[in-house]
Amino acid sequence: MGFDRNLKIAPSILAADFANFGAEIEAVEAQGADWIHVDVMDGHFVPNLTFGPPLVKAIRKHVGTVMDVHLMIAPVDPYIEAFADAGADILTAHVEAGPHIHRTLQAIRGAGMKPGVALNPGTPAAAVSEVLDLVDLVCVMTVNPGFGGQKYIDMTAKVRELRAMIGDRPVHIEIDGGMDPKTAPEMRAAGADVLVAGSAVFKGGSVSNSAPYGENIRAIRTACDTLV
């Protein structure tokens, strides 16, 4: 998994058919998805419950691209090895999830995964300034984490600040929340290169009719290409 700043669309399986994850992942990848984004929520750090390591392990064999696992859980450290064993390529922890994010990121890399750090909307970019040399990705939340389909919160200024802070480091800026052809271009222009999209990708399609997935992905790409 080499580094580049080309635009990557990472559909969130939170918006997929839960009863058919394997086929959904294969369908959306065939329609042009660059990464697969897996939202893990614990009902404690965020007000929702989703998936754990067994689900991640079960769907691993269906992911042909990059499995991007976003932990919205606290604590993180006790589960790092389990997600490594499950096959996560990128494991992202929230800076707000515990007092020792530096240690957490070291442990993620030590377990053989690429570490990511996420920021809630109310957390400033400066909160990750001391760990930029430890991460492969910074995830900027543009909704309050916990549920899909929320209204987008404009974080353009934060993304621009992060892009300046990152400089020439090989660190992706990922945007998670409310991404669609209207909101994605301003995030791309501000410096993001990974866009997580759930409802905007999966709407109107299904495993038996996956063409809309491709149409939706291309609509986001086209909107970004038009602006940038």
Verify cis geometry, omega within 30 degrees of 0, for the bond prior to 75.
yes
From the candidates 34, 42, 176, 180, which is the catalytic residue?
176
Cβ count near 150 (within 10 Å) = 16
Q: Is 34 a catalytic residue?
A: no
Short-list 113, 66, 67, 122, CA closest to 94:
122
Going from the C-alpha of 68 to that of each of 10, 58, 165, the distances in angstroms are: 8, 15, 23
**Cα 68 to chain center, whole Å?**
6
Residue keyed to tokens 């080499």: 2
Q: Report the C-alpha gap between 213 and 218 in whole angstroms.
A: 9
Q: Is 154 a catalytic residue?
A: no
From the candidates 39, 68, 89, 193, which is the catalytic residue?
39
At a CB cut-off of 8 Å and minimum separation 6, what does 209 contact?
none
Q: Report the C-alpha gap between 210 and 213 in whole angstroms.
A: 5
Residue numbers annotated as active site: 39, 176
